[in-house]
Amino acid sequence: MWNVERITTYQQITAQSAKAFAVDWEEWHSGRKERLIAPHGWLSLRSIDWLQEGVDKSIEGFPGTFRQEGNNVIYTPEPGKNVVNKGKVITESKTISVPQVADFNVEDFDFGEIRAQLIKRISDTRAFAVRIRDPHSAAIENFAGIPHYDPDQKWVFPARYVPRATWESSVVDAVVGDLSHDETTIGTLYVTIAGLEFPLTVFQGHNDHSGLMTTDDSGNEIYLDNRTDTEDIAFVLFKDKTSGKETYGGARALTFNIHEPAQVSYVDFNRAWNLPCAFTAYCTCPFSPQENTLPIPILAGEKTPEHQY
C-alpha cells in the first residue's frame, strides 16, 4: 500500500534533470499499478459483507459461514471444501476473539485463489465484515491504469517534519457513513508553498496484513491492529481545490519515511496517491481531517479513476 519516499534532500530532488525526475516518477507510478492489481491487492476486492449479531452469514462464492457473537466470530467450514487459514485446512469451527475497539485486519481464509479477509472496524452499529479478494475481479480484469497529472518538479516544495513528543489518538470520518477511523497522530508536516507555510497533521502509517498477534501480560494471544511495524512510516491525508473535481473527494495521501525526522526536507505532490476507496466500493478508507485542507489547487499526483468497482 505504501510508497515511501527515499530519504533525500530538497536540493537534490530539485536539481535533477527533468528527464531523470520523470524516470524516477515513472518507476514509482509503475509500482503503484503493480501493487493495485496484485492477485490479492486492493483491486482484487469484489465484495464486502457486514456480519450481524447471531446470524450465520454465507458469502457468495466462498464455502462455510461466518457468525458474529459479541466480540467473537465463528467460522464454520463446509464439509468437503478445503479452506486454509494460517497454512492449515480448517476441519472444524474456529472461534476468533477480538475484544479491542480499533481497526483490525483479523484473519485470512483461502479457498483456492479466493481469499476471505475478516476485518473489524469502529462503529456504533456494526463491527465485523468479510471482504472477498479475487485475482480475477472485475476491477483487475478491466484495469486501464491510474489517471494522473504529468509529473513536474514545480510541485516539489520544501517542508519540515516536527514529531510529537507523545503520539495521540485522533478520530476521523470514513467513506462508510457510520464508521470512523482511530488514527494515530504522530506529528506535523510544515509545507512551504509560494512563501506561505501550511501545517498538515501527520498520521502513523497502516499495513494491510492479517492475523498479526502478540501475547499480553496475562499470557493470552491477542490480535495486533493495522499499525503494527509502521513506526517509521508517516502519511498525510489531504484535500485541496481539486478534491471532488479532478481528484478524489475523500482524500489523497502522501507518504514519507520518518526514521530520521530531521531529514524530511520536501514534499513531492507528484506522488500524491489515491486511497483504495477511489477505485473500489469495498473499502473503509478514512477521510482527510478538516485541518488538512489546502486552500489552493494541487495540480499534481493521481486523479479520480474513471470507474469505481
Mean pLDDT of successive 10-residue segments in the chain (309 residues)? 61 90 97 97 97 97 97 97 97 94 90 97 89 97 97 97 94 88 94 98 87 81 76 93 97 94 95 96 94 98 93
Say which residues have a Cβ less than 8 Å from residue 123's Cβ, sequence separation at least 6.
Answer: 176, 178, 179, 180
Residue 175 is given by DSSP the state: S
Of 112, 141, 170, the one marking the end of a domain is 141
Residue 7 is predicted with a pLDDT of: 46
Residue 222 is predicted with a pLDDT of: 84
Does a structural domain hold residue 190? yes
Helix (H, G, I), strand (E, B) or coil at 196: strand
What total of structural domains would you count in the chain?
Answer: 2
Residue 26 is predicted with a pLDDT of: 98
Of 108, 141, 174, the one marking the end of a domain is 141
The answer on 176 and 108 residing in a single domain is no
The answer on 242 and 207 residing in a single domain is yes
- From CA 73, how far away is CA 194, in angstroms rounded? 53
Does a structural domain hold residue 297? no
Does a structural domain hold residue 279? yes
The answer on 58 and 192 residing in a single domain is no
Does a structural domain hold residue 176? yes
- From CA 208, how far away is CA 119, in angstroms rounded? 10
Q: In the chain, how many H helices and how many E strands? A: 3, 20
The answer on 24 and 90 residing in a single domain is no
The answer on 71 and 193 residing in a single domain is no
Angle at CA of residue 70, ends 66 and 76, nearest 5°: 20
The rounded Cα 41 to chain-centroid distance in angstroms is 11
Domain that holds residue 102: 42-141
Residue 4 is predicted with a pLDDT of: 54
Does a structural domain hold residue 2? no
CA dihedral 200, 253, 210, 49 (to 10 degrees): 110
Q: DSSP states of 46-102 as a string?
A: EEEEE--BT-EEEETTEEEEEEEETTEEEEEPPTT---EETTEE--S-EEEE--S-S
The answer on 125 and 63 residing in a single domain is yes
The answer on 254 and 178 residing in a single domain is yes
Does a structural domain hold residue 307? no
The answer on 21 and 69 residing in a single domain is no
The answer on 175 and 246 residing in a single domain is yes
User: Which amino acid belongs to residue 140?
Assistant: I
Does a structural domain hold residue 123? yes
- From CA 109, how far away is CA 66, in angstroms rounded? 11
- From CA 237, how far away is CA 244, in angstroms rounded? 14
The answer on 179 and 284 residing in a single domain is yes
The answer on 175 and 30 residing in a single domain is yes
Of 114, 141, 168, the one marking the end of a domain is 141
pTM of the full predicted structure? 0.90
The answer on 28 and 167 residing in a single domain is yes
Does a structural domain hold residue 167? yes
- From CA 118, how far away is CA 272, in angstroms rounded? 29
